[in-house]
Amino acid sequence: MRFTKMHGIGNDYVYVNCFAEKMPADPAALSIKVADRHFGIGGDGLILICPSEKADARMRMFNADGSESEMCGNGLRCVAKYVYDHGIARKPRLQLETGRGVLTVDLEVKNDKVARVRVNMGEPILEPARIPTTFGGTQVVDAPLTVGGQTYAVTCVSMGNPHAVIYIPDAAAVPLEAVGPGLETAPVFPRRANIHFVQVHSPNEVTMRTWERGSGITLACGTGACGVCVAGVLTGRTGRKLLAHLPGGDLELEWSAADNNVYMTGPATEVFSGDWAD
Ligand SMILES: N[C@H](CCC[C@H](N)C(=O)O)C(=O)O
């Protein structure tokens, strides 16, 4: 099976072009295998680029533990780049089907290849039960959550997938390996959650680190950065336009007051292709 390795600011996945390759019979099991950085190809998971009846292509995304997610922001920028660069659809504006519906993607092309991508990630979902969380009320904003004897103030947002945002003075000081798993699987998150620790530098600039649902520590999380932008507005810590510094690079976010959509802009990189022998 031919695959292509791509990353969005270091959030790397194994991509399979299912316009050309057969759909894997068990993508969850395949994701676990190919994601392994010693016995497989290495990556944060598997992303299938599939034909779609209602869009230029459809993205199906699987974490390193085989769980499927509704959405992946860094992955969608890479899918857009692959679809354009490899001639599946040579248009500067693409429609891409995801687990949260069809999203519109604008491409910045340089020397005939996509360099940067701007994604309309859709509207944030804030109702607790739709994130989903078991918190009551109409929104989850700086709500106390105690895990492992430590109480955190969490702000929860869904971008099609669940996120918990925690503000701290120093993002570098968080022992992610130690606290991530307990927060990801806290009972208050019936479908687990992606966990983000955020340090605010100014009303328009943050540094964030992530423990992802199903993949653990990643160098970047696109939907998470969108959630952080929304959480910043809800908590009054940052503005509707945000520059987020992630370990793997930067993303530009905007939660538009005009249309309530969240926009994410960043790079997408193709590294190499190969044949998966298994
Ligand atoms: N682990 C996430 C999916 C990948 C999200 C992230 N890599 C992104 O760029 O949005 C979840 O299970 O919701």
> What's the confidence (pLDDT) of residue 123?
98
CATH 3.10.450.50 fits 128-260, yes or no: no
pLDDT of 159 above 80? yes
Residue range 76-124, pLDDT digits in tens: 999 999 999 999 999 999 999 999 999 999 999 999 999 999 999 999 9
Calculate mean pLDDT across residues 244-260. 98
Among 26, 31, 18, 22, which Cα is nearest to 79's?
18
Q: Is the CB of 69 under 6 A from ligand 1?
A: yes
Which ligand 1 atom is the nearest neighbour of the CA of 44?
7
Q: Is the CB of 221 under 6 A from ligand 1?
A: yes
Calculate mean pLDDT across residues 203-218. 98
Centre of ligand 1 to C-alpha 112, Å, is 28
Same topology for domains 2-120+266-275 and 128-260, yes or no? yes
Distance CA 236, CA 28 (A): 39
Instruction: Confirm whether residue 161 is marked as ligand binding.
Output: yes
Contacts of 129 by beta carbon, 8 Å cutoff, 6+ apart? none
Token pair of 134 as six digits: 């078991």
Does ipTM exceed 0.90?
yes
Multiple choice CATH, 2-120+266-275, 3.10.310.10, 3.30.1950.10, 3.30.230.70, 3.30.360.10: 3.10.310.10
Token pair of 11 as six digits: 């959030």
User: How are beta strands 93-98 and 57-63 bridged, if at all?
Assistant: parallel
Q: Is the CB of 158 under 6 A from ligand 1?
A: no
Instruction: Confirm whether residue 17 is marked as ligand binding.
Output: no
Residue with the smallest CA separation from ligand 1 atom 2 is 213
pLDDT of 278 above 80? no
pTM given for the model: 0.98
CB contact at 8 A, 115 and 109: yes
Which ligand 1 atom is the nearest neighbour of the CA of 163?
13
Which ligand 1 atom is the nearest neighbour of the CA of 67?
12
Catalytic residue numbers, as ranges: 72, 221
Domain ranges for the chain: 2-120+266-275, 128-260
Q: Is the CB of 194 under 6 A from ligand 1?
A: yes
